[in-house]
Amino acid sequence: MRSIRTHEPGGAYGKVAAVISGGSCVVEIIKSGGWLMLPIILCSIVAIAIIIERFWTLSAARISPRYTLGQVWTWIKNNELNAARLRELRLASPLGQILAAGLVNSKYGRAAMTVSIEQAASQVIHDMERYLNTLGIIAAITPLLGLLGTVLGMIDVFTEIMIQGTGNANALAGGISQALITTAAGLCVAIPTYMFHRLFMRRVDTLVLNLEQESIKLVDALHSDRRVEVKEIGNP
């Protein structure tokens, strides 16, 4: 944190006053916050990149297309399920990857098919949860980085008070305001990051439930005494 020397027109008070009055740019705000603003900004960039990527990746249409199970059942009924179809299914979507794993081992019975589906599903779930831990870590550490910046800034403020005394209230207020910039920045990053982290975790839970339901439909259709109609298979 910078010193709050009262005799310098461009000191902390002047910078903070310029920020508050709207006369300063974002660069000046970052400079006023000190070097700890850099890791906070880096965390914000990483968080934005993860949020955009996860929004694209965790769409229901991409993970579990509505038509997939109905198409598989049509191939089975028409005796068109072969290696080429399985490869096409596996590459089409995460749901297709799970169903293809089960179909490969369906001839060995319900238990073998279920185990294959569970193994493929574990990999799919791992992929869906990718980067979410990083998002949670960013939400947790950015307020701490901001608080650390504030603590260091307050140390500077009280050091100046020891040297110069408390005669200049404006300089003292400016130094405290400068010290609080990092805390505000850390919270501005942490709050939306935490919200998106919880949103994505909930979305993953919903998608996993849907994948499980679709897989159970296929297992029941191939290894169950209950007659399953094509319309029932095709329902999401």
pLDDT, one tens digit per residue, over 15-35 is 545 444 444 567 777 777 778
Do residues 132 and 204 touch, judged by C-beta distance below 8 A? yes
| Overall pTM surpassing 0.85 (yes/no) | no
Q: Which amino acid, 99?
A: L
Model pLDDT for residues 32-68, shown as the tens digit of each residue: 777 889 999 999 999 999 999 999 999 999 999 988 9
Which residue, among 150, 155, 153, has the nearest Cα to 186 in the 3D structure? 150
Six-digit token pair at 7? 């005799």
- Domain boundaries in the chain? 12-57+132-190, 65-129+205-234
Q: How many residues does the chain have?
A: 236
Which residue, among 22, 12, 41, 14, has the nearest Cα to 182 in the 3D structure? 41
Model pLDDT for residues 96-140, shown as the tens digit of each residue: 999 999 999 888 888 999 999 999 999 999 999 999 999 999 999
- 87 contact partners, CB below 8 Å, separation of at least 6: 100
